Amino acid sequence: MRKIVVVLVAALLALALAGCGGGEAATPAADAPAVDAPVAAATPPAQSTDRSPIESGTPEPFPAIESTAVPAAIQSKLDAKRPMALYFYDSTLPESKTIRAELDAVLQENRGLIDLVTFDLGATKGGVATESARLGAALAGDLRVVRPPYIILVDGNGFITWRFMGYVDREMISREVLRATE
């Protein structure tokens, strides 16, 4: 019975491959007129595939936030032209602790080059969101933070150079911190 199932699966895969072209090069029909292909415009180099799917690849200026007061910790770093990492997290999510450990390790390696500003979006007191969690959530909305954990790196010129949502490993964080501090 197993042999029949294996043969049947192999046959279906072969048919699917043949139906998709099977990897063979298509040959033009003999009676089809030849058409010159238009010259393609120069295309920019492809973006690196190790970036966050939500990152545009080009730095964007830190937005002038009018709906929320920019916390003094962020404004002072922007005024002093200090690179910073903004970390929006939810203390109730286990992946937030893992990412924080990765982020702390990178910041320890780059001590003095970049500052960390954190916002716990899940902080509650008696089941009600704390004032700092509400302010952090308002700032997160202004910065287009989708959901925690979320990291935003801002360079010394006040440009957002990198944003990442979810789990990210230490090597990628380190590479982007070095890029933001150049």
Grade residue 123 by pLDDT with cuts at 50, 70 and 90: confident
Average pLDDT over every residue of 120-126 = 87
pLDDT of residue 47: 39
Highest mean pLDDT among 45-49, 54-58, 113-117, 121-125: 113-117
**Residue that wins the pLDDT comparison between 58 and 48:** 58
Residue tagged 């139906």 (tokens): 19
Helix or strand (DSSP H, E) at 172: helix 170-180
Q: Is the pLDDT of residue 35 over 80?
A: no
Grade residue 49 by pLDDT with cuts at 50, 70 and 90: very low
- Count of residues making up the chain: 182
Rounded mean pLDDT of the chain? 76
Is the full-model pTM beyond 0.75? no
The whole-angstrom separation of Cα 124 and Cα 170 is: 29
pLDDT of residue 53: 47
Topology at the third CATH level for domain 63-180: Glutaredoxin (3.40.30)
What three-state secondary structure class fits 182?
coil
The closest alpha carbon to 116, from 77, 63, 158, belongs to: 77
Which are the contacts of 105, defined by CB distance < 8 A and separation ≥ 6? 170
pLDDT of residue 43: 38
φ, ψ at 136 (rounded to 5°): -65, -40
pLDDT of residue 70: 78
pLDDT digits 0-9 by tens, 99-122: 999 999 999 999 889 999 999 998
The whole-angstrom separation of Cα 164 and Cα 180 is: 14
Q: Report domain extents, the chain.
A: 63-180
